[in-house]
Amino acid sequence: MMKKTKIIIVGMGGQGVQTIAKILALTAAQKGLEVSYIPQFGVEQRGTPSVAFITLDSKKVNYPLFDIADWAVVLHPRAIAEAVKYVDKKTKTIFDSSLMGVEKINKKPVDIFGLPAVKLATENFSSRLANLIVLGQVSRILELPFELAWKNTAETLEKKLKNETARKASRDALLLGYENLLEKKSFSKPDYRPKAGTIIFDGDGKQGFLISEHCKSCGICVAKCPIGAIKMGHNTGVFASPLPEIDIAKCSVCGTCSLFCPDGAIKTERKK
Amino acid sequence: MDKLFPKSYKQETKPHLFCPGCGHAAILKQLGEAIDELGVQKNMALGIDIGCSLLAWNFFDIDTAQTHHGRTASVMVGYKMARPERLAVAYMGDGGAYAIGLQSLLHAVLRNEPITVIVVNNENYSMTGGQKSPTTRKSAEGGDLRGFKGPEMISHLAAKNAWVGRGSVGNPRQLRVLFKKALANQMENKSFSFLEVLSICPVNWKTDAAASFERLKEMEKIYSLGEIKIDDEKN
Ligand SMILES: Cc1ncc(C[n+]2csc(CCOP(=O)(O)OP(=O)(O)O)c2C)c(N)n1
Ligand code: SF4
């Protein structure tokens, strides 16, 4: 028998909040639990807060909404406001301690845990996989079997996991989260700072500029560069996603990246 | 560093609200460049629809009005009647233009209203989550690939001195030239101008950057790009 468990997950659109929620809901249902999952996000779908409400119970879930969550998962400092309404002292709270300090969560729950998901993902794989680390962690907390969670992850993300490397990295990220032991520390400062300002790539009489506050990591510059001089790097931008890097020695300053970039975030030029 | 944005952008609203890789943002960038090159920023109004186009409500440093779904062409016709000396541009999605707002569009064409209509064809209803729209190709999984050819249809209805064309985010330089023609026609010929732009929607298509542009290539094979000749025999 499982006690009724109410979970709220908040983050910024594009971070994978709804992916986490969907896979959790599927896995819990396959384990035989009654599940309700309600997604809530703005019309933009990306870049604004995204919220998932999940209720798990061994009895039928009659009403899907709730006032106070048993677990709150906070993936981005800009989405905290969405969670606080549903958090009280007893809500066990997990937050991405790589992106925010604990003081950002204003109503202090007693049990608050830092999970540096973006940092772990960036150091081990790519920041894109931070959501799978969180999914792994929450799956263990809810006592969902790892292999079942992985099966649903692989099926849900099938299109993105066509090549073996991507598949393996995703499984490893999920496992890293699953095996991570939650700690209670002071977590007073974020231990990972997104890149801010303009990143300059300099060399060979050429310069490349990347405005990290504008780049949304769409990858168009990477796909469009005719000589493959741009790839996704290890820096994380303000949208908690990887920023492209220009191999300036290779760059022919053709201007294709800035022509196609929808966000005016990249530019290359010859030094004057 | 040289400029990153067109001059007509409202700089303080960037990063803008569009999703990563959004075709709308790439299209508005070329529209902005065309507006800069023609020097019409202070002499025009932009009408935007319901749909992802509404995320451009503070995109430009240009008078902007947001309308009901599919009514952007009609609203801009009214604007033009009141302010004939200014450029009136209606910017909308394919759902707004070809489904709920088709009648508004057709009457603007038939009456040869001197406005410029821009329709962004991303083959779905993006804002509401990627549902099928009139432009969703039938049986996109294979077989018959019929799509909705808006510009061709309009070229059969439009007046002799109207201007019709189609561009693509896959060809930004050509797109900028087409924007300039579509805007110049309104000023010079005082007649209707229509530009459809083939676009990408990585979020709802669930494609990465490379796969989005591959799908766009398929669209470019079905729909011809450039100026589309007016068939004026019946007019
Ligand atoms: C009268 C009315 N009907 C339906 C809707 C719901 N609605 C909001 S956005 C949208 C889809 C817009 O799609 P499209 O015009 O293709 O633009 P896109 O988002 O793809 O750029 C719909 C149907 C509405 N807001 N108003
Ligand atoms: S095209 Fe622009 S927004 Fe997209 S990844 Fe490259 S720099 Fe970032």
Q: Which ligand is nearest to the CA of B125?
A: 1
Looking at residue A237, what is its pLDDT?
80
| pLDDT of A47 above 70 | no
- Sign of the CA dihedral with A270 first, then B1, B5, and B7 last: negative
The number of the ligand 2 atom at minimal distance from the alpha carbon of A266 is 7
Average pLDDT over chain B, rounded to whole?
A: 93
pLDDT digits (tens, 9 = 90+) for A103-159: 777 667 778 899 999 999 988 998 889 999 999 999 999 999 999 999 999 999 998
The number of the ligand 1 atom at minimal distance from the alpha carbon of B24 is 21
Strands A92-95 and A112-114: parallel
For residues A60 and B172, give the distance between their C-alpha atoms in angstroms, rounded to a whole number: 54
Looking at residue B30, what is its pLDDT?
98
- Average pLDDT by stretches of 10, chain B with 235 residues: 88 91 97 97 97 94 96 98 97 96 97 98 91 78 71 95 97 98 96 98 92 95 93 67
Looking at residue B211, what is its pLDDT?
95
Cross-chain residue pair A219–B19, CB shorter than 8 Å: no
Looking at residue A238, what is its pLDDT?
74
For residues A208 and A193, give the distance between their C-alpha atoms in angstroms, rounded to a whole number: 22
User: Which of A36-50, A66-80, A246-260, B139-153 is predicted least confidently?
Assistant: B139-153
Q: A39 in contact with B at a CB cutoff of 8 Å?
A: no
The closest residue, in CA terms, to atom 8 on ligand 1 is: B51
For residues A205 and B160, give the distance between their C-alpha atoms in angstroms, rounded to a whole number: 53
- Sign of the CA dihedral with A89 first, then A95, A97, and A101 last: negative
Q: A239 in contact with B at a CB cutoff of 8 Å?
A: yes
Residue A158 has which token pair? 């099938």
The number of the ligand 2 atom at minimal distance from the alpha carbon of A257 is 1
Residue A246 has which token pair? 């220009």
Higher-confidence position of A59 and A13? A59
ipTM of this complex: 0.93
Selected residues 153-172 of chain A with any CB under 8 Å from a CB in chain B: 159-160
Cross-chain residue pair A224–B209, CB shorter than 8 Å: yes
For residues B66 and A260, give the distance between their C-alpha atoms in angstroms, rounded to a whole number: 27
Tokens 């991405």 found at:
A96
**CA angle, A149 then A152 then A157, to 5°:** 120
Is the minimum distance from the CB of B95 to ligand 1 under 6 angstroms?
Answer: yes
Among residues A118, A107, A83, which one has the least CA distance to residue A191? A118
- How would you write A14-61 as a 3-class SS string? CCCHHHHHHHHHHHHHHCCCEEEEEEEECCCCCCCEEEEEEEEECCCC
pLDDT digits (tens, 9 = 90+) for A160-188: 888 999 999 999 999 999 998 887 777 77
- For chain B, which residues make up each domain, given as ranges? 24-122+145-203+215-234
Nearest CA in chain A to B17: A44
Is the minimum distance from the CB of B191 to ligand 1 under 6 angstroms?
Answer: no
Report the separation in Å between the CA atom of A212 and the middle of ligand 2, taken as the mean of its atom positions.
9
Selected residues 32-61 of chain B with any CB under 8 Å from a CB in chain A: 55
Cross-chain residue pair A239–B1, CB shorter than 8 Å: no
Cross-chain residue pair B20–A214, CB shorter than 8 Å: no
Looking at residue B142, what is its pLDDT?
57
| Confidence band for A271, pLDDT divided at 50, 70 and 90 | confident
The number of the ligand 1 atom at minimal distance from the alpha carbon of B97 is 15
Selected residues 85-104 of chain B with any CB under 8 Å from a CB in chain A: none
| pLDDT of A7 above 60 | yes
What are the structural domains, with CATH classification, of chain A? 5-179 (3.40.920.10), 198-270 (3.30.70.20)
pLDDT digits (tens, 9 = 90+) for A233-269: 878 887 778 899 999 999 999 999 999 999 999 999 9
Give the amino acid at B202: P
Is the minimum distance from the CB of A225 to ligand 2 under 6 angstroms?
Answer: no
Looking at residue A184, what is its pLDDT?
77
For residues A236 and A99, give the distance between their C-alpha atoms in angstroms, rounded to a whole number: 11
* Residues of chain A found within 8 Å of residue B127, distances taken between Cβ atoms: 43
Cross-chain residue pair A260–B4, CB shorter than 8 Å: no
Looking at residue B227, what is its pLDDT?
96
End-to-end CA distance of chain B: give it in Å, rounded: 52
pLDDT digits (tens, 9 = 90+) for B112-131: 999 999 999 999 999 988 88
pLDDT digits (tens, 9 = 90+) for B127-145: 988 888 888 877 555 555 6
* Residues of chain B found within 8 Å of residue A219, distances taken between Cβ atoms: 21, 208-210
**Measured between CA atoms, how close is A11 to chain B, in angstroms?**
15
* Share of residues in chain A with pLDDT > 70 (%): 97
DSSP H or E stretch at residue B153: helix B150-157
The CA R_g of chain B, rounded to the nearest whole Å, is: 16
Higher-confidence position of A197 and A69? A69
Looking at residue A219, what is its pLDDT?
95
Please list, in sequence order, all residues whose beta carbon lies within 8 angstroms of the beta carbon of residue B47, skipping any fewer than 6 positions away.
B64, B65, B66, B67, B72, B73, B75, B76, B79, B88, B89, B90, B91
CB B22 within 8 A of CB B201: yes
The β-bridge partners of A199 are A210
CB B84 within 8 A of CB B127: no
Cross-chain residue pair B21–A262, CB shorter than 8 Å: yes
Q: In a 10 Å sphere around its CB, with 0-12 CB exposed, 13-18 middle and 19+ buried, how is residue B233 labelled?
A: exposed
DSSP string for residues in A196-242 = -SEEEEEETTEEEEEETTT-----HHHHH-TT--EEEEEEE-TTSSE
The closest residue, in CA terms, to atom 17 on ligand 1 is: B93
**Alpha-carbon distance values, A186 to A74, A103, A114, A120, B77 (Å):** 17, 9, 9, 18, 61
Average pLDDT over chain A, rounded to whole?
A: 91
For residues A100 and A270, give the distance between their C-alpha atoms in angstroms, rounded to a whole number: 38
* CB-closest option in B5, B55, B206 to A44: B55
For residues B67 and A215, give the distance between their C-alpha atoms in angstroms, rounded to a whole number: 30
Region B24-122+145-203+215-234: CATH code? 3.40.50.970
